[in-house]
Homo-oligomer: A and B are copies of this chain.
């Protein structure tokens, strides 16, 4: 927690912030070992970042005297990540990594090799997803939540959603064995598609290429989804 992310209702008169949930209180106490007088970094969800002085910490709440939250959050990545829904634990970590790296649009996509049971996982509850996004923001000192959408059908995604996404974005399909190596240091708005463990099936690859995506690869090594997503984002941007 490198930033204490405040929701508007945790701030009074722009001057005082009061955090009372057990998770952050425990973190302040056990990891930060915070004491009154300590200055910490705080940010308003969707807003600016600044410093605050801890003026009270008890079992119920931590209270901060806020300085202006007038610093902008770090720049976002110009990426829309379309990720075949990973298994639940991998999903949690991948959301945290992608959020910490600055992705602001994430579509979780069904593909043939996504196990149907993954769509029933409690990890897909909006509240659970929100929690992992917040962990990513707190880690990276960011305040702007990514938007996560679910695409429960591959064909409707390709036919109804993908063309619109590609109107303003370069589509990159990350898949082992594609012709071109992952490009580096691009600045263009990008749609990055990442398959499930086991990969996209050939028909899916064909559909995505037909729709105008370029196939890219990360070399001969097969990476876990969470490693691949981080490696792709770090290499592309």
Contact = CB atoms under 8 A, between A and B. Distances in A.
24 contacts: A2-B222, A74-B219, A74-B221, A75-B220, A96-B224, A97-B224, A97-B227, A100-B221, A100-B223, A101-B221, A139-B223, A140-B223, A141-B220, A141-B222, A142-B221, A184-B184, A184-B185, A230-B230, A230-B234, A231-B233, A231-B234, A232-B234, A234-B234, A234-B235
B233 A140 contact: no
A100 B139 contact: no
A146 interface: no
Nearest to A140: B221
Nearest to A233: B231
Interface residues on A, range: 20 to 34
Given A100-B223, A101-B227, A184-B235, 8 more contacts: A74-B220, A97-B227, A101-B221, A101-B231, A139-B224, A141-B222, A230-B231, A235-B235
A227 B136 CA distance: 11
Interface in A13-27: none
A144 B141 CA distance: 38
Nearest to A232: B234
Interface string A174-204: 0000000000110000000000000000000
A233 B233 CA distance: 12
Interface of A: 2, 74-75, 96-97, 100-102, 139-142, 184-185, 218-224, 227, 230-235
A205 to B, nearest CB: 18
A2 B219 CA distance: 15
A185 B220 CA distance: 17
A197 to B, nearest CB: 9
Nearest to A98: B227
A78 to B, nearest CB: 14
Contacts of A230: 227, 230-231, 234
A97 B2 CA distance: 23
Contacts of A139: 222-224
